[in-house]
Amino acid sequence: MDHGVIAVIGLGYIGLPTAAALATRGVRVHGVDVNERTVEAVNKGEVPFVEPDLGVAVSGAVSKGLLSASTTVPHADAFLVAVPTPFLDDRSADLSYIRTAAEAIAPQLQSGNVVVLESTSPPGTTRQMGDWLAKLRPDLAFPSSGAAAIDVHVAHCPERVLPGRVMIELVTNDRVVGGLTPECGQVAAEIYRVFCQGEIVITDAGSAEMSKLAENAFRDVNLAFANELSIVCDSLGLDVWEIIRSANRHPRVNILNPGPGVGGHCIAVDPWFIVAAAPEQARLMRTAREVNDSKPGRVVDQVKERAARLHSPVVACLGLAFKANIDDLRESPAMEVVEGIRRELPDATLLAVEPHVESLPDRLKGQDIAFSDAQSAIEAADIVVLLVDHSAFRSINRKSLEGRIVFDTRGFWNQH
């Protein structure tokens, strides 16, 4: 099947891998991003963030002329929208990026096009995007028009790949495609058949939107259980890691690893869309969010307790990313912990270590925090706080930890 040109709007952690997955399978893809540096990097075959195997896919596709990028939306046969959906102050979804994308796509639409929303969105957003497009192009028939023949199909296909394993999971995960009409679902599914070896489940748009939110809320609730258990065990003087190891020997128990909190742009955000949509009903999901959001503060208190008897201690914080082996600092609990330690221990010398970034992130600048490599930070430290279980930290000489107060929030040294 000839897919013509597919335009991917938003060249971030999802859009760029999806563009590369299509282009490496022979589809002509044009990426669009508001960030000129991203566009320049992609046109040079480079990737502006860390994601295993993505670099080789992008450079290969660009060199074959199958992937290009610009800041403006071209004519295309299909449009995939992969822009952020952060939350607003009241924790409802900020749909402004989707609206801006719709406004940029609308003038380029032609009969026969399909527009697919990949961004994680509250129920009703795909219909809303279709309505925005329809209003801007009264000359074309959209699903909401009820016309027998639709000019532009509209569907939702939520991304569900795990950062750090994106290029594998794009291919192997099943996909849920929700159309505004059954035909919209069928048309959109054809695009994903190009690279997806998993099953493609076709449903309606609202169900696809909610299934994605449910996936992340499910994981958030399970993470909250682990984090709450660690707080309970700590208050009772019990070793949570040993308890989880024992409990997980039960054939139907699989407790996740507690940590300094739950970060990233997905799990820490998406459950709020459910809470905003059904505030009276979503009680467990709201509490889970609150438990996970309270964890960085709890870690700061624990560091403070450990520093109580020390005078002007040197504290080394290992890891700033929101999870292991990536460079993504968004909604990172580790960043929150570092800032909290800075606030609560004004006399301490604070060293931050993050092997996946080159220098101290802007957010931490001007706060008297030094950037260091792991080994030097440990050698200088009285207290070592492990915040991210990066594989790079495996090469740390364990002997260098001796004689120091070690606070391992991830059970990294407990388990390896």
Q: Which residues here bind ligand SAJ, judged by CB under 6 A?
A: 120, 159-163, 215-216, 219, 223, 256-257, 259, 262-264, 266-267, 322-323
End-to-end CA distance of the chain: 49
212 is catalytic: yes
Say if residues 216 and 271 touch (Cβ distance below 8 Å): yes
Residue of 266, 295, 317, 323 marked catalytic: 266
Cα distance between residue 185 and residue 171, in whole Å = 19
Residue of 157, 184, 196, 212 marked catalytic: 212
Backbone dihedral region for residue 196 (phi beyond 0: left; psi -120 to 50: alpha; all else: beta): beta
Cα distance between residue 8 and residue 158, in whole Å = 14
The token duo for 13 is 């952690």
Helix residue spans in 308-408 (DSSP H)? 333-344, 374-380
Cα distance between residue 333 and residue 356, in whole Å = 16
The token duo for 71 is 């800041």
- Nearest one of 152, 154, 159 to 21, comparing CA atoms: 159
Cα distance between residue 324 and residue 226, in whole Å = 17
Cβ atoms within 10 Å of 90's Cβ, excluding its own: 7
Q: Reduced to 3 DSSP states, what percent helix, strand and coil does the chain have, rounded to the nearest 5?
A: 45, 15, 40
Which residues are catalytically annotated? 212, 266
